[in-house]
């Protein structure tokens, strides 16, 4: 289950390529309305421009219009990885739940699905906190992808907010991705796996670090699903973090334009300082 914005198209494209035809794959849930007039145009754009990393100004304007704008991170994803081949609506198994996924209507739908299908495991990448009944009805089988290393950076724009502090070691600790079970907290569920970018300062900008973190998060989620399908007799056991290790929760409202500007500035400063440290250490 994911959003209908641009960057999750990398996840849904990889997911469909990996799991199409697999009986365990029951569909892609989208937090959006089905009657979005741009659906067909999005599908055509992805088919026409797949794998392209350098878009013309007209093509860039078109995709910005289709998705209601692109963030700096999404533009960085295009430069690093190219346009994904598929959009969220490219599959027969795409199910649009509407924008309000915690509604009674969606709850009734999930109750029916759980009753008809038996055990359900959901893999999610969302900008929305799920109501507790999602966890209850799925018996806790919801696994989330997070674009930072847990438990050190939680919530929205976690890597960016940590960059705004200007602490090199702290930033290096959080740059990466995690997958974890969803509980009623914000990114506090048992951590299944996490990976760290060895040197985030090899990237040219903070946007590129976040773009790579997104891609790592998607890769981890697909890796986790693959292992569960290949080894159905094994259940992943997540590890709860010590309370003293858990970071503050960052929300969307915390990442103001001023904080964004500061984060980008301090990333460049940390990058320059990191280069100086390396040269001094190696007598260069």
Domain that holds residue 100: 2-279
Whether 242 is covered by a domain: the verdict is: yes
The CATH number given to whatever domain includes residue 29 is 3.40.50.170
What is the structure's pLDDT at 13?
A: 94
**Where do runs of H (alpha helix) occur along 21-178?**
39-49, 57-66, 72-81, 104-117, 132-137, 158-163, 168-174
Whether 179 is covered by a domain: the verdict is: yes
Q: What is the pTM of this model?
A: 0.94
Collect all residues with Cβ–Cβ distance below 8 Å to 239 and sequence separation of at least 6.
Answer: 190, 191
- For 183-218, write each residue's pLDDT tens digit: 999 999 999 999 999 999 999 999 999 999 999 999
Whether 263 is covered by a domain: the verdict is: yes
- For 212-264, write each residue's pLDDT tens digit: 999 999 999 999 999 999 998 988 999 988 776 778 899 999 999 999 999 99
What is the structure's pLDDT at 203?
A: 98
Whether 183 is covered by a domain: the verdict is: yes
Whether 254 is covered by a domain: the verdict is: yes
Whether 164 is covered by a domain: the verdict is: yes
Whether 212 is covered by a domain: the verdict is: yes
Helix axes 206-230, 257-281, angle to 10 degrees: 90
Strands 176-181 and 142-146: antiparallel
Collect all residues with Cβ–Cβ distance below 8 Å to 185 and sequence separation of at least 6.
Answer: none
Please count the structural domains in the chain: 1
- For 148-169, write each residue's pLDDT tens digit: 999 999 999 999 999 999 999 9
Strands 191-196 and 176-181: antiparallel
Mean pLDDT of 64-92: 93
Cα angle, residue 8 at apex, residues 44 and 57 outer, rounded to 5°: 50
Whether 284 is covered by a domain: the verdict is: no
């Amino acid at each position: 289950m994911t959003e209908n914005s641009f960057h999750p198209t990398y996840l849904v494209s990889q997911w469909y390529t990996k799991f199409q035809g697999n009986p365990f794959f029951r569909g892609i849930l989208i937090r959006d309305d089905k009657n979005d007039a741009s659906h067909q145009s999005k599908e055509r754009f992805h088919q026409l421009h797949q794998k392209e990393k350098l878009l013309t100004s007209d093509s860039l304007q078109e995709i910005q219009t289709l998705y209601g704008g692109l963030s700096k991170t999404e533009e960085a994803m295009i430069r690093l990885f190219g346009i994904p081949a598929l959009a969220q609506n490219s599959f027969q198994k795409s199910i649009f739940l509407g924008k309000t996924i915690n509604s009674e209507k969606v709850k009734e739908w999930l109750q029916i699905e759980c009753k008809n299908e038996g055990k359900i495991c959901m893999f999610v990448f969302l900008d929305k906190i799920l109501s507790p009944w999602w966890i209850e009805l799925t018996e806790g089988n919801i696994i989330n992808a997070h674009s930072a290393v847990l438990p050190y950076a939680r919530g929205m724009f976690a890597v960016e907010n940590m960059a705004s502090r200007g602490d090199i070691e702290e930033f290096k600790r959080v740059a990466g991705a995690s997958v974890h079970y969803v509980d009623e907290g914000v990114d506090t569920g048992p951590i299944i796996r996490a990976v760290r970018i060895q040197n985030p300062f090899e990237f040219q900008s903070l946007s590129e670090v976040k773009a790579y973190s997104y891609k790592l998060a998607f890769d981890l989620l697909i890796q986790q699903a693959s292992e569960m399908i290949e080894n159905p007799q094994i259940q992943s056991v997540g590890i709860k973090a010590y309370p003293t290790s858990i970071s503050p929760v960052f929300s969307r409202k915390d990442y103001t334009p001023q904080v964004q500007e500061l984060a980008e500035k301090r990333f460049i400063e940390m990058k320059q300082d990191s280069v100086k440290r390396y040269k001094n250490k190696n007598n260069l």
